[in-house]
Structure 1
């Protein structure tokens, strides 16, 4: 039995399936797609919250409960989506989980949760939904600079993101040019609740070497990327250049980290000051 139902249509609009829609980036992506007239189906553990946050005047939005850490949930929802018989033009893996912790403090729970949300569920869901994807559809993985450059203090998160890059690149090789497109978007820090929580949990100050990107800007870049050929993009671009340089020359990260941490501390203080001021204004309103 389907966990959700769909109304039949005579005219079938473009159809997008997405995870991670209750975070800042996901909300913005869904809103932009809806304004363009897309049908958007969000898989989330908080469907009611998603419906309160996301709306659009042109497209149709549905939020369906799905726990990405439960393979049985993924299979059930994937079966229901395939039963709809509406080609998926856009599959966006936007959900993410980070738990900053030293390697000696890693627990089985944090390991399994980050692995499931960041790596296992995108792999399983992509595999299960391939039969439902349009021949010229686009699979998009919202990744992190931590998938190119090791992130001290968040080794599990970095490992999952490195793995996600490998999967996306391997997936792209299975399809001829002009058919299914595969893209990965590698993000530096983005001004979202996830970043705030990561900071409270002791996340890396390197997040604040540059000013965190706005979720709206990132969402627009993701939508723009979805309209073209499959590729990898890095936001900001300079972070991607530096991360690749560190892969080729591992010593570069070691010698630059002390300076980057000092710059990051300044950026963190600026970020916290800005958030405090915004909170005061919001409270007065």
Structure 2
């Protein structure tokens, strides 16, 4: 498997490796990194789509086919990256999969796919690429508020995101201060195709208690985070405070859910109305 190469004698910055670049957030992240002169290697099941969406601008960009549900794909890609002996300055795990369904309706396929994309692949990829991470590199996990607050009707998704938070926190303890940094971004609803699909599949109306965030705004925050020290960020911040309160007081979520659902239904109707208006323009 051949990845992009560099001319001898040409000084280039360490590269960024990321997943999930054909989604709303990932596409914006890749574009912003390229504007900053990064060389970006995107792992995706839709490389052609990624190349159509993302302009190379200042940096060098390549989309490589990789099915995150297949460990053998991850191993092959990781081996190819290691062979390049190119330092990785930024590793962003942005791919995500949610399949809203009650536990009684759970299928083996949806369980395995969500587990693989949301939890197993970030763990395996991080482990396999660690030898190529520069001493000052940053690993960023794009997580969800569902990784802090239980999400009714999407128990598997929430479980994978809780697990990802645990992995990220434990991973950070393996590095000395001033070396590799680890950050997790816990997002509420973001205006992306993934949110629209989740809504069509019967996702939680709690996504619309607040207005979904613009993907570009979220991507900018992720880039800024990658340039600083490792930390956890909750967006919106109030969602993070409420989620932690619910962890301490489990009864709080059950008590407030009926009110939040009413607010969410209003927000959902507004969101759908805006989308219909946008498509008519």
TM over 0.5: yes
User: What displacement does 1:29 show?
Assistant: 0.3
**SS of residue in 2 equivalent to 1:121:** helix
Q: How does 1:137-156 map to 2 (within 5 A)?
A: 137-156=137-156
Do the aligned partners of 2:16 and 2:90 also contact (CA within 8 Å) in 1? yes
User: What displacement does 1:3 show?
Assistant: 4.2
User: What displacement does 1:84 show?
Assistant: 1.0
User: What displacement does 1:57 show?
Assistant: 1.7
**SS of residue in 1 equivalent to 2:137:** strand
Residue of structure 2 equivalent to 1:246:
246
Do the aligned partners of 1:12 and 1:86 also contact (CA within 8 Å) in 2? no
Gaps of 5+ in 2: none
TM-score by length of 1: 0.97
Do the aligned partners of 2:69 and 2:121 also contact (CA within 8 Å) in 1? yes
Do the aligned partners of 2:98 and 2:198 also contact (CA within 8 Å) in 1? yes
Gaps of 5+ in 1: none
User: What displacement does 1:130 show?
Assistant: 0.3
Residue of structure 2 equivalent to 1:225:
225
User: What displacement does 1:7 show?
Assistant: 3.3
Residue of structure 2 equivalent to 1:210:
210
Do the aligned partners of 2:4 and 2:62 also contact (CA within 8 Å) in 1? no
Residue of structure 2 equivalent to 1:159:
159
Residue of structure 2 equivalent to 1:85:
85
Residue of structure 1 equivalent to 2:48:
48
Kindly tell me the number of residue pairs found equivalent between the two proteins. Answer: 280
CA distance in 1, matches of 2:167, 2:4: 31
Residue of structure 1 equivalent to 2:95:
95
CA distance in 2, matches of 1:235, 1:26: 16
**SS of residue in 2 equivalent to 1:27:** helix
TM-score by length of 2: 0.98
Residue of structure 2 equivalent to 1:70:
70
CA distance in 1, matches of 2:196, 2:36: 30
CA deviation profile, 1:193-239 (whole Å, cap 9, x unmatched): 00000000000000000000000000000000000000000000000
Runs of 4+ in 1 over 4 A off after TM superposition: none
CA distance in 1, matches of 2:37, 2:13: 7
Do the aligned partners of 2:208 and 2:264 also contact (CA within 8 Å) in 1? yes
Residue of structure 1 equivalent to 2:236:
236
**SS of residue in 2 equivalent to 1:264:** helix
CA distance in 2, matches of 1:57, 1:132: 25
Do the aligned partners of 1:3 and 1:77 also contact (CA within 8 Å) in 2? no
Residue of structure 1 equivalent to 2:276:
276
User: What displacement does 1:14 show?
Assistant: 3.0
* Segment of structure 1 superposing worse, 124-133 or 4-13: 4-13
**SS of residue in 2 equivalent to 1:184:** strand
* Segment of structure 1 superposing worse, 49-58 or 210-219: 49-58
RMSD: 0.8
Do the aligned partners of 1:29 and 1:220 also contact (CA within 8 Å) in 2? yes
CA distance in 1, matches of 2:238, 2:231: 17
Residue of structure 1 equivalent to 2:115:
115
CA deviation profile, 1:91-122 (whole Å, cap 9, x unmatched): 00000000000010000000000000000000
**SS of residue in 1 equivalent to 2:224:** helix
CA distance in 2, matches of 1:97, 1:200: 14
